[in-house]
Amino acid sequence: MNLTDTPHDRRRFLHLAGVFSAGALLAGCGGGEEGGDDIAAPSPAATSAPIVVTGSHVLNLALNLAYLGAQFYGHAASGAGLPGDLTGGIGMAGAVSGARAASFQDPMIAGYAAELAVDKQAHVVALRRQIGTAAAAQPAMDLSGTGGGAFAVAAQGAGIVAAGAAFDPYASDGNFLLGALLVENAVAAAYRTLTVKGDEESAAIVAEHLADSIYHGGLIRTLLDDRAASDASIDRAVVGTTTLLAKLDGTDMGDQTLAGAVGVSSNLFDADGRPIPFTRDTAQVLKGLYLSTSGVGGFLPRGANGIAVV
């Protein structure tokens, strides 16, 4: 039986395949060892302070991430993002710029994009219902592949393309998966942080979405790892991307890639064999979204909505 024929079968297969890769997503791994000193964080697109909106809610960070994922995967899969009735709320509502349908060569990758789009939209619906009147509006998003767009800025900082060059995540399967890695990077780690905060009212939705996010991240990493086995440029791109994101965290500690990391431990488990939780706090998540350590920009050029950064 072909386990990738339907979304249900794909999920069953990747429930197993993603377990291995998802460990890298949730583990506290040492980042930056694989040529990290040669990768500089991109310059901030703006220098204003992160937007702080009155009436912030602990789940609004997850909602901002869900908006980003739903718009990226929705446009990539079908050329359409979220309906307008799912994007209103508190804060400065914004439009999506630069997103478009992806040019998929592999029908399986196209199917995964469609599945992820459905899952992310479901997250938006569930989070907005849970948060209620304090739900953040969708912020302005830059999902373009032009030379000055967020994906290109990240790719330049990771050494994937030259300074000033474009990086179009909609141009090929490999580019889409690298774009998805950037979008998924902080999601599971952010949800893991929310479980630590112990918000009882939100505990059920946090646990459910954490499990989904592990699956999503494991899926993307599994597909990238498969391609890295035959394409060294994919391996280098993943290493560069994860090293860049670790630098943006401000700690040089982060989601170290497993592929090609010769002589580097992935640190998935502690000395007693227990998984090491990988978390990012709100400020670290925002730095990854803004692609800056000092201001807003990147994927959210006017900042996030409904989030109090302390």
SS (H, E, C) 214-252: HHHHHHHHHHHHHHHCCCHHHHHHHHHHHHHHHHHHCCC
> Which pLDDT belongs to residue 239?
86
Whether 135 is covered by a domain: the verdict is yes
Q: How far apart are CA 290 and CA 282, in angstroms?
A: 12
For the record, the structure tokens of 275 come out as: 């998984």
pLDDT of the residue at 119: 96
Instruction: Provide the pLDDT for residue 53.
Output: 42
pLDDT above 90 (res 37): no
For the record, the structure tokens of 102 come out as: 């992806």
Q: Is 198 domain-assigned?
A: yes
Residue 2's pLDDT is 39
Cβ contacts of 261 within 8 Å, gap of 6 or more:
33, 34, 239
Structural domain contains residue 244? yes
Average pLDDT value over all residues in the chain:
79
Note the pTM of the prediction, 2 decimals: 0.80
Higher-confidence residue of 16 and 70: namely 70
Q: Does the pLDDT of residue 36 top 50, yes or no?
A: no
Q: How far apart are CA 55 and CA 61, in angstroms?
A: 13
CA distance 139 to 255: 26
Question: Which range marks the domain in which residue 103 is found?
Answer: 7-290
Distant-in-sequence, close-in-space partners of 78: CB < 8 Å, separation ≥ 6? 101, 114, 117
List beta partners, residue 97. Answer: 142
Higher pLDDT, 213 or 4: 213
Predicted local distance difference test score (pLDDT) of residue 131: 93
More confident residue, 308 or 186: 186
Q: How confident is the model at residue 306 (pLDDT cuts 50, 70, 90)?
A: very high
H or E segment and range at residue 142: strand 141-142
Does residue 236 contact residue 242 with C-beta atoms inside 8 Å? no
Residue 309 and residue 68 in contact, taking contact as beta carbons nearer than 8 Å: no
State the pLDDT at residue 32.
34
* Residue 98 included in any domain: yes
Residue 17, pLDDT above cutoff 70: no
Q: Is the pLDDT of residue 234 over 70?
A: yes
306 located within any domain: no
Residue 284 parent element (H or E): helix 282-290
Q: What average pLDDT does this structure show over 177-184?
A: 93
The pLDDT assigned to 275 comes to 55
Q: Tell me: pLDDT of 23 over 80.
A: no
Q: pLDDT tens, 235-285?
A: 899 888 888 888 887 765 555 544 444 444 444 555 566 555 567 888 888
| pLDDT tens, position by position, 81-114 | 999 999 999 999 999 999 999 999 999 999 999 9
Residue 60 lies in a domain: yes
Q: Between residues 164 and 37, which one has the greater pLDDT?
A: 164
- How many folded domains does the chain comprise? 1
The mean pLDDT value for 35-43 works out to 44
1 part of a folded domain? no
Give the residue-averaged pLDDT of 26-53: 42
Query: How high is the pLDDT of residue 62?
Result: 93
CB 119 within 8 A of CB 127: no
Question: pLDDT per residue over 136-156, tens digit each?
Answer: 999 999 999 898 999 999 999
| Alpha carbon separation from 281 to 49, 190, 284 (Å, rounded) | 17, 7, 5
Asked whether residue 299 is assigned to any structural domain, the reply reads no
User: In whole angstroms, what is the distance from residue 228 CA to residue 92 CA?
Assistant: 40
